[in-house]
Amino acid sequence: MMTLMNMVRGIANDLPAKEMIKYWNHEPGTLKLVRASSNFIYTFQWNSKHYYLRFTHEEDNSAENIQAELDFMMYLLEQGYETVAPVRSKQGKWIETLSTGNGKYHGVVFEQAQGEYVPLEEMSELQFQHWGQTLARLHNLSETYAPSTPARKSWVDSLQFILSVLRRHPEEHKALKEYERIEAWLSELSFGVGHTGLIHFDFETDNIFYMKEKSRYSAIDFDDSMYHWFAMDITSALRDLSKQNDDESKRNINLFINGYRSVKRLDDKYIKLLPEFQRFSDLYGFARLLRSFENLDVSICPEWALQLKSKLDGVCDRIRDGFHPHMVLKTITENNWYACTQLEVPNEQKTVFPVPMVYWLAESAYCGMNPLALYADEELVGFSVYAVDPKDGSYWIMAFMIDRKYQNRGFGRTGMDALIRYIKAEHHCDKIVIGHRIENERASNLYTSLGFVEVSRDEDEVVRELIV
């Protein structure tokens, strides 16, 4: 995302675009603005063919980074991967730099992409599979790419960028905590051959075009590419589908994953980490938005810019709401058992969770169950109990609750997700079972969203299973 101040200056009367286009052959009167976000994008014609002019202010991107992007795209074209070809200027350059009173702009021109745009809701099952296959092909080629120019940025550079922005905004305490959690998590994740490389980072439907005759997509906009885990690319591609969380979206996600796996290996452990990679993406996007607001002079901003800022402020608020403390499960000891007995649900939930914590502690002590305290960072926020069924070896979550003071903060989802991962890691089980009262719709919605499938019910209870 460019700064809003640069956007206002760059769009004003299309002046930079009118000067930049002079570096390339074009038909007068055909230059039209398409959009402005990370870059200014204009379309124009030459010899009755459509081309795209893309340029950005020097504060928002460097000529070196753009050259590295073009080098990768030309490598992909040489390998038969469908993307857009850059076009040399009249002077034979890939990149032209325009000097203005407001600084320098770096511009490039691309041919029009092959294929047709297909909205997410109109994709066929085969197109979802081809989408996954096209991304897997990109990742295979990425692993053999050896750049001759300075390498693109990496996830480490992105974290450094995030931190530099947050240091300029010390009021963003939750975001800084989120940064610390993500930085620690990524630093411990294995980075190596087979699951990391140069990724696209924005392989969504507005950057891909379907070529029916070739049964695959062409891709555009590699300006955000970075060295990262390939799972990050999958996360970005599936972001909109993951938000919908309905049966059709889940089926389409599986089609995408199956398509990907038909071309490139993808370990299940990375599928389970997609929500964590989404946290990185959200924080990175948040930092870019914060930066875009910096040095904005509202006194000279047109109404459209003020409305855009208001809209982006809302996006920042929604991302802030998603920053959650790190959830940790701890065993019950002499140091925390009493604090656990003081946890309780609100009065209106006691019909569906009537048993006090002291009962669960006593039953666990004498009936072979495993009680755990749930902490958000260092704060005790909830409690859970699980046990193994000796008949079939499945693991049952017997109790799970969030204290009334900490409800409606997202701890239910993140806490249950942490518990699932804990049980799987500790016991290497393949099935987790949970039951809840029929009238407990809140629990029903949470467990369903986490993948638990109903297997039975009676007059009082619904039983759900999760294959892990």
308-355 residue pLDDT tens: 999 999 999 999 988 877 788 999 999 999 999 999 999 988 888 888
pLDDT in tens, 389-421: 988 889 999 999 999 999 887 788 889 989 998
What value does the mean pLDDT take over residues 169-197?
90
Indicate whether 151 pLDDT > 80: no
What value does the mean pLDDT take over residues 161-190?
93
Indicate whether 54 pLDDT > 90: yes
What pTM was estimated for this model as a whole?
0.78
Q: Parallel, antiparallel, or unpaired: how do β-strands 431-437 and 395-402 relate?
A: parallel
In residues, how long is the chain?
468
**Cβ contacts of 366 within 8 Å, gap of 6 or more:** none
Task: Report the CATH number of the 4-76+84-111 domain.
Answer: 3.30.200.20
Q: Hey, what's the torsion of the CAs at 276, 130, 252, 182, to 10 degrees?
A: 0
pLDDT interval class at 123 (50, 70, 90): very high
pLDDT of residue 1: 92
Cβ-in-10-Å burial (0-12, 13-18, 19+) of 252 comes to: buried
What value does the mean pLDDT take over residues 147-163?
90
pLDDT of residue 411: 86
pLDDT in tens, 250-303: 999 999 999 999 999 999 889 988 988 999 999 999 999 999 999 999 999 999
State the helix-helix crossing angle for 274-293 and 303-321, rounded to 10 degrees: 150
**290-297: long-range contacts at Cβ-Cβ below 8 A with a sequence spacing of 24 or more?**
290/165, 290/166, 290/168, 290/169, 290/172, 290/316, 291/1, 291/3, 291/165, 292/1, 292/2, 292/3, 292/4, 293/3, 293/4, 294/3, 294/168, 295/3, 295/5, 296/3, 296/4, 296/5, 297/5
**Cα end-to-end span (Å), the chain:** 38
User: What is the rounded distance in angstroms from the CA atom of residue 2 to the CA atom of residue 305?
Assistant: 13
**456-461: long-range contacts at Cβ-Cβ below 8 A with a sequence spacing of 24 or more?**
461/435, 461/436, 461/437
pLDDT in tens, 87-98: 999 999 999 999
Q: What percent of the chain has pLDDT over 70?
A: 100
pLDDT in tens, 359-383: 999 999 999 999 999 999 889 999 9
120-321 architecture in CATH? Answer: Alpha-Beta Complex (3.90)
What value does the mean pLDDT take over residues 149-172?
93
pLDDT of residue 243: 86
Q: Enumerate the domain spans of the chain.
A: 4-76+84-111, 120-321, 327-467
Take residue 179 and report the two structure tokens written for it.
């940064």
Indicate whether 192 pLDDT > 90: no
pLDDT of residue 409: 78
The dihedral through the CA atoms of 231, 237, 238, 239 has a sign that is positive
DSSP conformation class of 149 = S
Indicate whether 235 pLDDT > 90: yes
Residue with tokens 């940064």: 179
Q: Answer for the pair 46, 27: CB distance below 8 angstroms, yes or no.
A: yes
Mean pLDDT, rounded, of the chain: 94
Indicate whether 233 pLDDT > 90: yes
User: What is the rounded distance in angstroms from the CA atom of residue 253 to the CA atom of residue 103?
Assistant: 44
pLDDT in tens, 201-232: 999 999 999 999 999 999 999 999 999 999 99
What's domain 327-467's superfamily in CATH? Gcn5-related N-acetyltransferase (GNAT) (3.40.630.30)
For every residue of 208-245, which 3-state class applies, written as one string?
Answer: EEEECCCCEEEECCCCCCEEEEHHHHHHHHCHHHHHHC
Q: What percent of the chain has pLDDT over 90?
A: 80
pLDDT in tens, 425-466: 899 888 999 999 998 888 898 899 888 999 999 998 999 999
Q: Parallel, antiparallel, or unpaired: how do β-strands 208-211 and 216-219 relate?
A: antiparallel
Any idea which of 19-28, 54-63, 102-111, 374-383 has the lowest mean pLDDT?
374-383
What value does the mean pLDDT take over residues 23-51?
97
What is the C-alpha R_g of the chain?
Answer: 26
User: What is the rounded distance in angstroms from the CA atom of residue 202 to the CA atom of residue 69?
Assistant: 14
